[in-house]
Chains A and B, each alone.
Chain A
Amino acid sequence: MTGKALQAYLHDRLHAPGYRTLVLAGLFLAAVVLASPVAALPMGKPVDFETQEQEAQYQKLVRELRCTVCQSETIHESNAALAGDMRRRVYEMTAAGASEQEIIDFLVQRYGDYVRYRPAFQANTVLLWTSPFLILFAGGMVWLQVVRQRQRLVLRQELSAEERAALEQFRRGE
C-alpha cells in the first residue's frame, strides 16, 4: 500500500460508521505496529503470578489502562507494540509487588492522565464525577415540583367553588 493510499485508508476507517476500529496516529505511529520487532508481551499471552491477588490486579489494570496510540482500546485488547510494552510493565511491576496505585502513578507520570480509563478524582475531574449526581438531584427536584403542582391541580378540581374561595382566603392569611 502506498503512503497516500494508507493515509486515505486510515482516514476513512476512522469515519466509517463501524465501531472502534484500531486507528493509529498517522503513518509514524502506524509504522510501530507494522514493522517493529516485538519484544513486548504479546496480546493474550498467558501470564503467571505467585498469588491470586496479583493475578486479579493485573487483569483489572490491563482493562483500565488505555493504549495511548489506539482509538478506544485498553491495553488488554490492543495489538499495538506500545500496549505490549505497557502490559509487560504492568506484569513486571505487579509480579514485583507494586500496588495498583503505584503502577497507575508510574504510567501517569510518563503518559499523563490520558492513560487512565478510570479518571482520577482530582481538581479538573470534579465536575465529571459529580455532575451526574448533581443532575440527578436537579431531576429529583423537578419531579417533586411537578408532582406537587399537579397534586394542587387535582385538589382544585375536587373542591367546590366555595371551598376554593375559602382556601384562597386562608392562603392570603385572612
Chain B
Amino acid sequence: MIAELGNFALILAFCLAISQGVLPLVGARTGNERLMATGRSLAVGQLVFLAFSYAALTWAFVASDFSVEYVARNSNLALPTQYKVTAVWGGHEGSLLLWVLLLAAWGVAVAVFSKALPRKMLARVMGVLGIVSTGFLAFTVLTSNPFNRLARVPADGVDLNPLLQDPGMIAHPPLLYMGYVGMSVVFAFAIAALLSGRLDAAWARWSRPWTTVAWCFLTLGVGVGSWWAYYELGWGGWWFWDPVENASFMPWLTATALLHSLAVTEKRGGFKVWTVMLAILTFALTILGAFIVRSGVITSVHSFAADPDRGVFLLSMLAATLLGSLALYAWRAPRVGLGGGFGWYSRESLLLGNNVLLVVACAAVFVGTLYPLALDALGLSKISVGPPYFDAVFMPLMMPMLFLVGVGPLIAWKQADPVETSKQLRWVFLVSILIGIAWPFAMGLWKPLTALGLGLAAWILLTAAVDTRNRMMRRRSQGVGSMLGALRPSFLGMHLAHAGLALVVVAISMVNSYEVERDVRLAPGDTATAGGYEFTMLGVGGVRGPNYDADQATIEVTRNGKPVATLTPQRRYYDSQSDMPMHQASLHRRPTRDLYVSLGERLSGDAWLVRLYYKPYMFWMWVGGLMMAFGGFLAAADRRYRLARERSTVVAEERPAATGRSAGQEVG
C-alpha cells in the first residue's frame, strides 16, 4: 500500500512538473503575473510529493517489502539498517528517484533565494527547471519505476552490491547528484537569459553563485567517489579513467571552465555567448553521463542487454537539450554584444586560455571515452582506451593550465604589463623551480615530470601567498582590521580552491612517482618491508560480520623496530555471493604517507598473499579536494551576491540602458 502511495505521489509530482514547465513560461510570454507566480508553488508541491515518494521507497527498504521488485533486487533481510536506507540509491531506479528529488529541492532553493530576481526572469528559470524535471520524471515513471511490484514475492531479497555497503557510498551519489542537478539550475538560468534575449552582467551575477555551489557539490562528489574507490576496491587505485568516472569528470571540467568564464561575463561583460554555450554544454554532459552509466551502451560489452528504451529515452533528452538550445541560440544570440575589449596580456585573455585548455581537456576525455563506441558503431573493430591513453593526452594539457592558475589572479583586467608581472613574480618563479628540483631529490629519485608537477604546485601556492600579501599591504596604513577586511570571501575562496588544486597536484605527482607496491607471501611470523616499513604477519583469523564471513589478517607495522600500527585487512565473503570475495583493505594514514595493506588468496599451508603499499602524500589529495570545494562555498557566500540580489530589481529596470551600452560597444 505504501509503495502504491509512493507511486501515486511520484505521478502527481510528474503532473506538477509538466505544469511547471508550461505555466510560468506562458506567463512570461503573455505578461500574466499570476501564471508567472505559479512556478514557485508548483516547485514546492513537486518537492513535497517527491519527498513523500522517496520516503515511501525508503520505508519499503527498511520494512524489507520484497514484493517491490527494486527492493527485492537491492536489499535482503541481513542487510544492516543503515545500508537499507542507503540501498535506496544503490540501483538504477532508486538513484533516479534521488536525482529527481534533489532536482526538486534545487528548484525550491531557486524559488526561495531568488525573490529579488525580476519576476519574468524567475518565471522563465522555474519554467525551464520544470521542463528538465518533466524529462527526468517521465524517464523515471515510464522506464524505471522503482515501485513496480513482483507477482511472486520472494522470501528474501538478493542483496545490495557488497561494494556499495560502505560509508563512502553513503555520501558519494547524493553529492554527485547534487552537483549534476545543480547544473540543471545553471542551464535554466542560461536558457532563461537566451529566451529573454538579454545575456548581460546581471544574468552572470545571478547565475554565478548557483554555478559555484553546483560545482562544489560536483567536486565533492567526484572526490568522494575517488576516495571510495581508493580504499574500497582494495587495490589502491584512486582514478581509473573508466567511462563511468569520465562521465562525472567531463561536466566537472566544463563547469570549471564555466566558473571562470562567468567571472569575465560578470566583471567585464565579455564572453557572453561562450558562457551560455558552456552552461548548456555542462548540462548536456550531465545527461550524457546518465546515458553512459544507465543505457549500458558503453559498458554493455559485459552486460545483459539493458532495457533499450532507457538508452533511447536518455538519448532523446540529450538530443532535445542540444538541438533545442542550438535553435534557441541561433534565434537569439545575434543580439548579444561582445563586451569590453582587452589586450593580449590581460586577465580576460588568460582566463580565455584557461577555458580553452579545460574544454580541450574535456574534449580529449570525451574522445577517449566514446572512440571505442564510435569504432564499434562503424564496424571498425573493437578497441580499448585506458589510462595510458588518458595520461598521455591529459597531462600535457594540464601543465600550462597549472601555470596559468598561478599567474591569472595576479594580473589586471583589460590590460596588464608582462614586465610588471615578471618583476613581481621572478623570485616566486625561481623559488618554485628550486622546490621542483629539490623536492624530488629529497624523495630519493629525481624524475623530470615529477619535478615539473611539484614545481607547478609550489608556483600556485606561492603566487597565491604573494597575491594575498599584496592585497593586505595595500591597506597597511589603515590598520590590521582593514588589512584583514581586504580579504573578501570570494578572494579567499578563489585562492583556497587554487591551493587545493596544488595539493592534489602534489599528491598525484608523488604517488605516481614514489608509490611502492609489493606482492609478498606471508605466513605467521614472516616479515616483509615496503617503503622503509616492516610488515609482520601475526596471523589470520575468521571474523563474522553482520552479513559476511571474513578472513582477517593481523599485521604489525614497525619502522626501525618501533611500532607504528596494527593493520587488519580482510577478505570478505558476503553471504549473498560467497564465491566472489571482496578485499577490505586496511590503511594507516599520515599526512605524508598512507600505508595500505590488502589480503589476497591463501597459499599452501598458513601462508597468504599480501599486497603492501606505501603511498606518499595521498592525504593531500583528499585535503586538496575538500579545500577546492570549501573555497567554492566560501566564494559563493560572498556578500556581493546578496547585495546584488537586493539591488537587482534596480538593475533590472536599468537594463535596457545597459544593453544599449554594450550594443554600442559592439558597433563603436
Contact = CB atoms under 8 A, between A and B. Distances in A.
A7 interface: yes
B80 interface: no
Interface stretch (B341-349, B553-561, B617-625): B341-349
B600 A44 contact: yes
A89 to B, nearest CB: 18
A17 B293 contact: yes
A149 B367 CA distance: 30
B92 A12 contact: yes
Interface stretch (A66-74, A94-102, A165-173): A66-74
Contacts of A139: 356-357, 359-360
B341 A150 contact: yes
A71 B372 CA distance: 14
Interface in B268-324: 270, 293-294, 296, 299, 301-304, 306
Contact of A112 (B172, B228, B381): B381
Contacts of A155: 341
Interface in B560-604: 576-577, 579-581, 598, 600-601, 603
Interface in B141-172: 158-159, 161, 163-164, 169, 172
A118 B385 CA distance: 6
B233 interface: yes
A26 B610 CA distance: 30
A29 B90 CA distance: 24
A116 B91 CA distance: 30
Nearest to B235: A77
B520 interface: yes
Nearest to B364: A132
B contact residues, range: 35 or more
A149 B7 CA distance: 56
A132 to B, nearest CB: 4
B364 A135 contact: yes
Given A12-B92, A116-B383, A118-B388, A20 B302 contact: no
Interface in B465-522: 519-521
Contacts of A109: none
A136 to B, nearest CB: 5
Interface in A122-136: 124-125, 127-129, 131-133, 135-136
A147 B302 contact: no
Interface in B224-242: 225, 228-229, 233, 235, 237, 240, 242
B112 interface: no
Interface in B348-384: 348-349, 352-353, 356-357, 359-360, 363-364, 367-368, 371, 375, 380-384
Interface string A88-117: 000000000000000000000000111111
A39 interface: no
Main DSSP-derived SS at the A contact region: helix
A109 B594 CA distance: 40
B388 A64 contact: yes
Nearest to A34: B579
Nearest to A148: B344
A150 B269 CA distance: 12
Given A69-B302, A117-B387, A154-B343, A20 B158 contact: no
Contact of A153 (B159, B172, B338, B579): B338
A135 B356 CA distance: 10
A77 B557 CA distance: 24
Nearest to A30: B580
Interface in A24-40: 24-26, 29, 33-35
A18 B164 contact: yes
Residue among B301, B302, B359, B600 having the largest count of chain A Cβ atoms under 10 Å: B302
A117 B368 CA distance: 11
Given A18-B161, A18-B169, A143 B356 contact: yes
B601 A114 contact: no
Contact of B384 (A43, A63, A66, A127): A66
A119 B389 contact: yes
Nearest to B241: A72
Contacts of B668: 156-157
Given A9-B158, A156-B341, 5 more contacts: A18-B172, A19-B233, A20-B240, A42-B600, A133-B393
22 contacts: A5-B158, A7-B304, A14-B296, A18-B161, A18-B164, A19-B225, A20-B242, A20-B244, A21-B161, A46-B609, A66-B384, A72-B244, A77-B237, A117-B387, A128-B371, A128-B385, A132-B360, A135-B367, A139-B359, A139-B360, A140-B356, A154-B415
